[in-house]
Amino acid sequence: MAGPVLEMRSIVKTFPGVKALSDVTLTVRQGEVHAICGENGAGKSTLMKVLSGVHPHGSYEGEILFEGDVCRFGDIRASEQHGIVIIHQELALSPYLSLAENIFLGNEHARGGFINWNETLRHATQLLRRVGLTDHPETRVADIGVGKQQLVEIAKALSKKVKLLILDEPTAALNDEDSDKLLDLILELKKQGITSIIISHKLNEIRKVADSVTILRDGQSIETLDVKAPETTEDRIISGMVGRDLDHRFPERTPHHPEEDAAPALEIRDWTVHHPIDQQRKVADDVSLHVRRGEIVGIAGLMGAGRTELAMSVFGRSYGRYAGGTVLKDGKEIRTKTVAEAVGHGIAYVTEDRKHYGLNLIDTINRNISLTALDKVAKRGLVDEHEERQVAERYRKSMNIKAPTVFEPVGKLSGGNQQKVVLSKWIFAGPDVLILDEPTRGIDVGAKFEIYTVIDKLAAEGKAIIFISSELPELLGMCDRIYTMAAGRLTGEFSRAEATQEVLMRQMTKDKEVTR
């Protein structure tokens, strides 16, 4: 067996307030495909950013050895000179430049500042062949599909004489056919002697291409398994990923026993959404679910499972292209074609991305809280500022928003306090159904508990709550019922009693039933 090409020893990386990596060790052998898996937030991407120099030497602790030499990369260029190339989850191609121009971007075939087009095109064609593309190198990137774009990224990596290729969830945005092509290419490159690290949480993918897998959990490397060994089953990997104690605290919750005969507060039937650009891809595929008054229903899924896309699509068609399905409120079909209609029917969607979709960061707390329901503090189209201020003061106290006054711009608040403002805003709107998308993402433990308490109180008041989260302990601690989603489809439904981390993770990592 070949020796190690890469060793990362005791890597520690701290961000202000958060320890993203605490003691990670990773050993990759020459010529293998090494998978890294772990839950969202386990530290996979951070580790790869440390390796590729995005987080430069000095900003982390620990040691990196590549081909036996100690490496201190100051930036991406430095790591690329050693033949380490990372392909990020979000593609980094310039859409209106040609394939050839993209492949050699920053690395042009040029003399004296002028590009040698003949050499560029010749070399580009050759590289495109190597990744299995027959498109003309002068085609614009925007004119080829996402799957092919991923391959162009790899061609770009090859142009840099790559020795170690890092792929961060390369198939997350691809359909089945493109995924297969990409995985085959990784195996092909392996034959040519290129070592790969692939971050993925699709277990069938890992089984297909990887030789070994390292499991990360809460910023630590838990174990490295030999994928080909018979004892490495999917269950074995799953138990490594979730094997954490329930270390978060949750408010005491009396599980809700809804009256089965009453119509659900919200029911979604056969909902299907296509990706806004890639029309072939279904981001939500024939999803049906419901939630009753006073009930907290979880949706578990890994990144790219389609949870946010489903929620946003139901909420005023705010994402993708609607391709079918109905929404029922209290047993009656309703229209939710626009956000205003959805809000009018008493639905609220609290976004996972509060900075981009939730708040006007340059505006004050009071104005953010009142925005969705301005009519409640307005008479004949005119806002009563005093009443508005009083409402905001009320939420500042009841939600414990830490700010000197309600006139503070929300951009200056901490993540937890921003989240409380978003919640206040939607609670003020007075909805019957709240869809909470990752309501505790990126906030500290204390604020998390406060938010759990608020959610619990809302349910006790008879609101129906859909709770989308990637943190299984949180779902297990809060929900009466949990759905699992994977690749746009519902893969399971569990009562509070049935649900365990292992059971959920198994359904969350389930790809299409048809195995390859």
Partner 1 sequence: MSTDVTNTPAEAPPGKSGSNDTGENLVRLMLDGMRRNMRQYGMLIALGLIVALFAVWTGGDTLLPHNVSNLVLQNSYILILAIGMMLVIIAGHIDLSVGSLTAFVGAFAAVMTVQHGVSWPVALVLSLAVGAVAGSVQGFLIAYLGIPSFIVTLAGMLIFRGLTEILLKGQTLGPFPGGLQKMGNGFLPEVGPTTNYHNITLLLGLAVIVFVVLQEVRDRKRQQEFSLDVLPAKLFLLKLVALVAAVLTVTMMLASYKGAPIVLLILGALVVGYGYMMRNAVFGRHIYAIGGNLPAAKLSGVKDKKVTFYVFLNMGMLAALAGLVVAARLNAASPKAGLSFELEAIASSFIGGASMSGGVGTVLGAIIGGLVLGVLNNGMNLLSVGTDWQQVIKGLALLAAVGFDVWNKRKSGS
Among 390, 398, 495, 500, binds partner 1 (CB under 8 A): 390
Q: Give least dist CB 362 to partner 1, A.
A: 5
Q: Is 117 in the site for partner 1 (CB under 8 A)?
A: no
CB atoms within 10 A of CB 313: 26
Q: Could you tell me if 256 and 465 are in contact, meaning their C-beta atoms sit under 8 angstroms apart?
A: no
Q: 415-428 and 385-398 are packed helices; what angle lies between their axes, rounded to 10 degrees?
A: 120
Q: Does residue number 382 form part of the binding site for partner 1 (CB under 8 A)?
A: yes
Our CB check for partner 1 shows the closer of 191 and 386 to be 386
Region binding partner 1 by CB under 8 A among candidate stretches 21-29, 118-126, 179-187, 403-411 = 403-411
- Rounded Cα gap, residues 273 and 284, in angstroms: 5
**Residue 316 beta carbon to partner 1: minimum distance, rounded to whole angstroms:** 8
Identify the sign of the CA torsion 127, 133, 139, 145: negative
The token duo for 383 is: 């806002």
Instruction: Tell me how far apart the alpha carbons of residues 422 and 468 are, in angstroms, rounded to a whole number.
Output: 16
HEC profile of 31-96? CCEEEEECCCCCCHHHHHHHHHCCCCCCCCEEEEEECCEECCCCCHHHHHHCCEEEECCCCCCCCC
Size of the residue set binding partner 1 (CB under 8 A) = 43
411 near partner 1 (CB under 8 A): yes
User: Smaller CB distance to partner 1: residue 116 or 360?
Assistant: 360
User: Any contact of residue 339 with partner 1 (CB under 8 A)?
Assistant: yes
Measured from the CB of residue 366, what is the shortest distance to partner 1 in angstroms? 11
Choose which of 110, 229, 340, 445 interacts with partner 1 (CB under 8 A): 340
CB 62 within 8 A of CB 8: yes
**Shortest distance in whole angstroms from residue 385 CB to partner 1:** 6
In this complex, which beta carbon is closest to partner 1, that of residue 330 or of residue 393? 393
Residue 342 Cβ, how far from partner 1 at the closest point, in Å? 8
- Site track for partner 1 across 342-381, x = CB under 8 A: xx-----x-x----xxxxxxxx---x--xxx-xx--x--x
Among 260, 386, 497, 515, binds partner 1 (CB under 8 A): 386
Q: Which of 226, 333, 385, 461 binds partner 1 (CB under 8 A)?
A: 385
Distance in angstroms (rounded) separating the CA atoms of residues 153 and 175: 17
Residue closer to partner 1, measured from CB, 105 or 383: 383
Helix (H) or strand (E) holding 328: strand 326-329
The answer to whether residues 311 and 357 touch, using CB atoms and an 8 Å cutoff, is: no
Nearer CB in complex with partner 1: 366/484: 366
3-state DSSP assignment of residue 238: helix
Q: Does 404 bind partner 1 (CB under 8 A)?
A: yes
Interatomic CA distance for residues 456 and 442, integer angstroms: 20
Residues 273-332 that bind partner 1 (CB under 8 A): 312, 315-316, 318
User: For partner 1, which residue of 15, 96, 117, 407 counts as binding (CB under 8 A)?
Assistant: 407
For 246-259, give one letter per residue: b (16+ CB within 10 A) or e. Answer: eebebeebeebebe
Q: How far is the CB of 370 from partner 1 (least distance, A)?
A: 8
Q: For partner 1, give the closer residue by CB, 211 or 393.
A: 393
What is the 8-class DSSP label of residue 251?
-
31-55: b (≥16 Cβ within 10 Å) or e = bbbbbbbbbebbbbbbbbbbbbbbb
Do the Cβ atoms of 18 and 215 come closer than 8 Å? Answer: no
CB-nearer residue toward partner 1: 188 or 363: 363
**How many helices and strands in the chain, by DSSP H and E?**
16, 25
Rounded Cα distance between 77 and 86, Å, is: 11
Stretch that binds partner 1, among 17-25, 167-175, 176-184, 383-391 (CB under 8 A): 383-391
Least distance from partner 1 to the Cβ atom of residue 334, Å: 15
- Closer to partner 1 by Cβ: residue 357 or 449: 357
Cβ 378 to partner 1 shortest distance, Å: 5
By C-beta, is 292 or 389 nearer to partner 1? 389
Residue span binding partner 1 (CB under 8 A) among the ranges 181-189, 230-238, 278-286, 337-345? 337-345
Owner of token pair 């790559």: 162
Q: How far is the CB of 321 from partner 1 (least distance, A)?
A: 17
Cα separations in angstroms, 302 against 172, 308, 506: 10, 11, 11
Q: Is 430 in the site for partner 1 (CB under 8 A)?
A: no
CB 185 within 8 A of CB 208: no
Which of 2, 382 has the CB closer to partner 1?
382
Could you tell me the smallest distance in angstroms from the CB atom of residue 425 to partner 1?
Answer: 7
CA–CA gap between residue 431 and residue 428 (Å, rounded)? 8
Q: Which residues bind partner 1 (CB under 8 A)?
A: 312, 315-316, 318, 338-340, 342-343, 349, 351, 356-363, 367, 370-372, 374-375, 378, 381-387, 389-390, 393, 404-405, 407, 409, 411-412, 425
